[in-house]
């Protein structure tokens, strides 16, 4: 039974076209001005085709079954755990479904607008849709638009920054008064 299921899954996988979408990669590379590879959505930076880890050729029969099930997620709302997609790629398929993704290939710039406006997988404060537009990695909290990250981190840490400035100011004030007192003391001894 397992052999039949594996053969059936392999047949579905090789009959179904690969779902790597260079149209999206090309569009966001051009609009963001950043180097973007397949690792934005896929496990492997070279995409799904190949024999390396995270590519179709390296999958076990169980992973191939999982991939076959993930490729059947035509409608939004399906839980997807594709072994060739990373967390962001799976989120896109879960949110939009394969049919909508294929439709968006005609206008790749519409993909961020179709995604959730609240999803932030890396927790850096920049939504995944914004990171896609900016060409930054939505799974790396250190990769984001520098201005956006500065603004978000400033507002997240304003109290700590205020306390550092206050402590530094009070330290300089105390040091100034100490030096002033020492100069007055030294002036009295000199008389």
Residues 117 and 38 in one domain: yes
Residue 185 burial (CB < 10 Å; 0-12/13-18/19+)? exposed
Q: At 1, is the pLDDT very low, low, confident or very high (cuts 50, 70, 90)?
A: low
Examine the domain organization and report whether 75 and 43 are in the same domain: yes
**pLDDT of 162 higher than 60:** yes
Instruction: Answer with the residue of higher pLDDT: 10 or 40.
Output: 40
**Residue 148 falls within a domain, yes or no?**
no
pLDDT band at 14 (very low <50, low <70, confident <90, very high): very low
Task: Give residue 12's pLDDT band: very low, low, confident or very high (50, 70, 90).
Answer: very low
Q: Residue 87: is its pLDDT beyond 90?
A: yes
Q: Residue 175: is its pLDDT beyond 50?
A: yes
What ranges in the chain are assigned the alpha helix state H? 2-15, 22-32, 61-70, 87-104, 111-114, 128-134, 146-156, 158-190
Handedness of CA 99, 103, 108, 114 (dihedral sign): negative
Residue 149 placed within a domain: no
In this predicted model, which residue has the larger pLDDT, 34 or 163? Answer: 163
Is residue 61 scored above 80 in pLDDT? yes
- How far apart CA 126 and CA 88 sit, in angstroms, is 14
Q: Are residues 106 and 171 in the same domain?
A: no
Say how many domains are in the chain. Answer: 2
Mean pLDDT of 22-39: 86
Residue 112 has pLDDT above 70, yes or no: yes
What does the pLDDT average to over 121-133?
Answer: 92
28 found inside a domain: yes
Instruction: Flag whether 47 is in a domain.
Output: yes
One domain for residues 115 and 184: no
* Domain of 62, in residue numbers: 2-143
């Amino acid at each position: 039974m397992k052999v039949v299921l594996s053969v059936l899954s392999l047949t579905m996988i090789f009959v179904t076209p690969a779902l790597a979408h260079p149209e999206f990669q090309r569009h966001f590379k051009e609009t963001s001005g950043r180097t973007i590879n397949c690792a934005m959505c896929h496990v492997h930076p070279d995409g799904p085709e190949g024999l390396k880890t995270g590519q179709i050729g390296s999958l076990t029969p169980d992973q191939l079954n999982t991939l076959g099930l993930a490729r059947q997620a035509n409608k939004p709302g399906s839980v997807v755990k594709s072994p060739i997609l990373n967390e962001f790629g799976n989120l896109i398929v879960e949110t939009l479904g394969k049919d909508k993704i294929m439709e968006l290939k005609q206008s790749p710039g519409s993909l961020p607008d179709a995604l959730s406006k609240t999803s932030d997988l890396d927790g850096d404060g920049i939504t995944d849709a914004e990171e896609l537009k900016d060409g930054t990695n939505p799974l790396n909290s250190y990769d984001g638009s520098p201005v956006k990250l500065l603004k978000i981190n400033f507002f997240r840490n304003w109290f700590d920054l205020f306390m550092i400035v206050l402590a530094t100011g009070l330290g300089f004030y105390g040091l100034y008064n100490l030096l002033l007192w020492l100069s007055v003391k030294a002036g009295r001894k000199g008389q």
